[in-house]
Structure 1
């Protein structure tokens, strides 16, 4: 099912930020909110898989999405339980069939993602046979989403030091997840989709971070045909997107964007005369992200 009401960040949750005192450039004492980081250990049945640093919200979605995007939960796996223990900061995902990933875990490597991000040496293996659905993406939807996402309540606006990933359908925001690492944010979206049986074929994934190989792989593993960002690309991310036929759109700022893969899905229906451009201040900020 597709959610009817958007699931949005709640920057007022007290456990997500901490008030810290300091001094500004003039020496004046200030107090600001900073994002919390917490370790979360993920188990698949009796096998410990990874410990990730996360802000601590939606741990069940994060665990499910991480395992799904790493290929450890297959399409035919039956999830019988997801148990979160806040005291020991652990999530155990249980399946009807036991699995052993010791050999795969030996191959894990650090990725370019912020905080703790791991993919495995044979991460491309899970993309074999992946066929992304034919879909259309209207530029009017992209411009509307960019404006809407930039004005939604978020931890980024409250404390910064955070990445966001947004699941969209046409020009509607469905799920908005944030975390210290962009990989965690997209895994939470993947976990939500898996838990609630949300179809992927007509969705758009928007990320505030760079369009890296990891982001492209995760999007493809989720079955989503379009990945967009206001940030830029990596060459390997573009190469994988082109190989898979995933529509990859970056540098979305004001009237501007660049599509480096999957151009055939784009329908340019927006009248740019009615799309506000981004001022110079925001352009400089975007260039630094």
Structure 2
């Protein structure tokens, strides 16, 4: 399944999990894999912006994507360098233009994301000029993507306690990122797209987590016209999706899904009766996506 992705999860990477011993409900000794968390401080030129808790993979993409999704980097920004220092746990993003975001940094909002996401207070202003493309979204793609993504090797299947976000095109998953917070996972996607100058008009974003206002805002800021999830919605997430014209699909499990915004993009080309339903509530026994 790894060959499906341009970038995919590497659950065997020893940097991302470690073994921890404990006892189970019967008192028997057990050893399980748990996900690592590391601080990563992001700088824009000489200014410290934020410290994120992350699993530590793709720090350059995370920094670029975070700054892009906060409106601190424009889509055509001239980035002159992205320097990661593993010992200092820092990433410095350097641009050709001078930047000064002291006022913006004073206006920040804690989000509902795991590992305490942060959205800066004027981020909504960046949505005023967003015009998402009128790309079609085939229901056959949704079913194919769900099957490929949910059965792919991942840190979630290995250790749980993690979120995934996948950039897709048609029925093909392209870039699959995981992190302790879904906001980090989507920022890594944004950073990859910025580095590769990838076109967003024909893409779909799939996430394992809730469809919150933050996820909707970031997807719209990236110019992606459709956002889908196994999980559910928040009211503000739905409201913002309708305002910006984003197709928002949640509760994708087996034959079922529900679209609460942008249904005009949907092309109903698959018979749900021909799709295998999904037994149980989650891919990993006893696990839940928050």
Contact 2:111–2:119 (Cα < 8 Å) also in 1: yes
Q: Please name the residue that 2:233 is paired with.
A: 233
Number of aligned residues = 287
Alignment of 1:71-150 (within 5 A): 71-150=71-150
Deviation by residue 1:203-236 (Cα, 9 ceiling, x = unmatched):
0000000000000000000000000001000000
Contact 2:5–2:176 (Cα < 8 Å) also in 1: no
Q: CA RMSD in A?
A: 1.7
Q: Distance in 1 between matches of 2:233 and 2:17?
A: 30
Q: Please name the residue that 2:258 is paired with.
A: 258
Q: Please name the residue that 2:63 is paired with.
A: 63
Q: Distance in 1 between matches of 2:148 and 2:222?
A: 24
Deviation by residue 1:134-176 (Cα, 9 ceiling, x = unmatched):
1000000000000110111100000000000000000001000
Q: Please name the residue that 2:191 is paired with.
A: 191
Q: Please name the residue that 1:274 is paired with.
A: 274
Q: Please name the residue that 2:19 is paired with.
A: 19
Q: Please name the residue that 1:158 is paired with.
A: 158
List gaps (5 residues or longer) in structure 1.
none
Q: How many angstroms does 1:107 deviate by? A: 0.6
Q: Distance in 2 between matches of 1:10 and 1:281?
A: 24
Q: Distance in 2 between matches of 1:117 and 1:20?
A: 27
Provide TM-score, normalisation by structure 1.
Answer: 0.96
| Cα distance change of structure 1 residues 184 and 288 upon mapping to structure 2, 3 Å threshold | closer
| Cα distance change of structure 1 residues 260 and 51 upon mapping to structure 2, 3 Å threshold | same
Provide TM-score, normalisation by structure 2.
Answer: 0.96
Q: Distance in 2 between matches of 1:246 and 1:97?
A: 32
